[in-house]
Homo-oligomer: A and B are copies of this chain.
Amino acid sequence: MGLSTTVDMYKHELLRALAIGDQAALDERLPEIRSADLAEILEHLIEDDDELKTALELLQQLPVERQASVIGHLPGDEQEKVSDAIKDSQLVRILDRMGSDERADIFKVLGDDRKEALLRRMAHREREALKRLASYEEGTAGALMTSDYVAIPADLTVAKAMMRVRQTAPDAETVYQLYVIDDQGRLAGTMSLRQLMVARPQALIDDLMIRDVIKISVDVDQEEVARMVARYDLLALPVVDADQRLVGIVTHDDVMDVVESEATEDIHKGMSIGQLEDGVSRVPLWSLYRKRVTWLVLLVFGNLFSGAGIAHFEDTIAAQVTLVFFLPLLIGSGGNAGAQAATLMVRGMATGDVGVKDWGKLLGRELLVAGSLGLTMALAVAPIGMIRAGEAVAIVVAISMVCIVLFGSLLGMCLPFVLDRLGWDPATASAPLVTTLIDASGVIIYFSIATAILSGVG
């Protein structure tokens, strides 16, 4: 993890003060440093230099609220190491100061014995809430949400609701959106604090609230959560269970992290890399190997088709060895154009810009664009063919280029739709897969054209 200059400077100051026992310097500096930055310093200490002890000493210098906030900003691995090193009584106090979603995240990384020990130290209600939040599957709305929201009944007046907001303010994740629930705990409406502030104090929430609430089900994928929040510009999205009971909210800041990590996942998938559980600089080597090897080996066998194609045309090649000169160029170009087309489609589908219904229209567009690309590249390569191997080979190479680029682009464009239809993730149409498929087809197209044209010539 690369530290920014400011954070790096802070790190060195803090370590120096800690080493020489300069308490005054620590007391002056620590309150200035934001929790996110302090978390980065701790992370750096733990992962790179294995200075867990120093990290813990630094943490001890902070008030417990700040400890909770800093630990909340750490990545999973470092949360685990730090939590394991803190004793039960202190950890319970820290967990108590965390938002319910962060508390559940920490809880998930602990061992079973530790979980039991901590739960015994909690009040019944807290215990049940924590167990419930920690039980949702990673990557769903449930795993992302917090239970620290402001819920009010519909029969409150505006003035009373304002008082409720003031009371809840210290604990709630956000007080800017209120959720109205009925006596069954079902989500009945919502109101923003802004609306509340400009309303008549005696007015009833029931008369003011918006009844048509944008909400999401607890088991929905986090990608869909992010899409809803972005589409409707929400501060928070309420999460309901199968009985429409409000069980939590997902706030905008948590969604922002999802958007970034989903984009990373998509980028990695586009290069046939499995989902990493952490950043590339932190993930264990064995895991990095495993996430990369599967497709690489599968594609080795895919590439055998190209070899088989070549073997089939061995006579044509032997008659005119110079054809091999243009082979990497032709299949490489087809692969590149095809990978571009696939990438455009996969990303378009991921962001919702492209739907399966648009297939026909996009096919027509791709036909035009890829045709033009193929012609341009044929023009670029034809003179080289002329110089190197004469007119006949130049014609073969130029025609092959147009055909291969056109075929590759259409294959790259269609594959994500086909995969989607089969119920697969369109992102499986990664660049390496598309390239491998086009390589094999390119060999056949090239040597078929060569055999057809050159057998007449030779």
Contacts and interface: CB of A to CB of B under 8 A. Distances in A.
Interface in A342-390: 343-345, 347-348, 351-358, 361-362, 365, 368-369, 372-373, 376-377, 380-381, 384
A232 B229 CA distance: 19
A394 interface: no
Interface in A284-308: 285, 288-289, 292-293, 295-297, 299-301, 303-304, 306-308
17 contacts: A34-B214, A36-B231, A166-B197, A230-B257, A230-B260, A260-B351, A268-B347, A270-B270, A279-B354, A280-B354, A281-B361, A281-B365, A293-B372, A296-B336, A300-B380, A304-B384, A336-B436
A55 interface: no
Nearest to A353: B279
A373 B292 contact: yes
Interface stretch (A22-30, A105-113, A319-327): A319-327
A42 to B, nearest CB: 15
A273 interface: yes
Interface in A260-274: 260, 263-264, 266-268, 270-273
Contacts of A297: 376-377, 380
Given A235-B235, A280-B362, 13 more contacts: A1-B353, A1-B358, A271-B340, A279-B348, A280-B354, A285-B365, A292-B340, A292-B369, A296-B376, A300-B329, A300-B380, A300-B381, A339-B431
* Interface core residue of A321, A332, A435 (most chain B CB under 10 Å): A332
A365 B288 contact: yes
A130 interface: no
Contacts of A304: 329, 384
Interface stretch (A83-91, A121-129, A169-177): A169-177
Contacts of A3: 355, 357
Sort A-B residue pairs by CB-CB distance and give the 3 closest, nearest first. Answer: A2-B355, A263-B263, A306-B328
A14 interface: no
A317 interface: yes
A256 B255 contact: yes
A194 interface: yes
Copies of this chain: 2
A281 B329 contact: no
Contacts of A372: 289, 293
Interface string A1-28: 1110000000000000000000000000
A249 interface: no
A331 interface: yes
Contacts of A336: 272, 295-296, 299, 432, 435-436
A137 interface: no
Interface in A64-105: none
Given A300-B333, A332-B303, A344 B235 contact: no
B257 A356 contact: no
A432 B335 CA distance: 8
A215 interface: no
Interface of A: 1-3, 32, 34, 36, 48, 165-166, 169-170, 175-176, 193-194, 197-198, 212, 214, 229-235, 252-253, 255-257, 259-260, 263-264, 266-268, 270-273, 279-282, 285, 288-289, 292-293, 295-297, 299-301, 303-304, 306-308, 310-311, 314, 317-318, 321-322, 324-329, 331-333, 335-337, 339-340, 343-345, 347-348, 351-358, 361-362, 365, 368-369, 372-373, 376-377, 380-381, 384, 431-432, 435-436, 439-440, 443
A321 B271 CA distance: 32
Contacts of A337: 292, 296
* Interface core residue of A212, A229, A260, A279 (most chain B CB under 10 Å): A260
A384 B300 CA distance: 11
Given A351-B260, A369-B288, A328 B340 contact: no
Contacts of A256: 229-230, 252, 255-256, 259
A34 to B, nearest CB: 6
Given A194-B175, A355-B3, A343 B377 contact: no
A324 B329 CA distance: 15
A340 B293 CA distance: 10
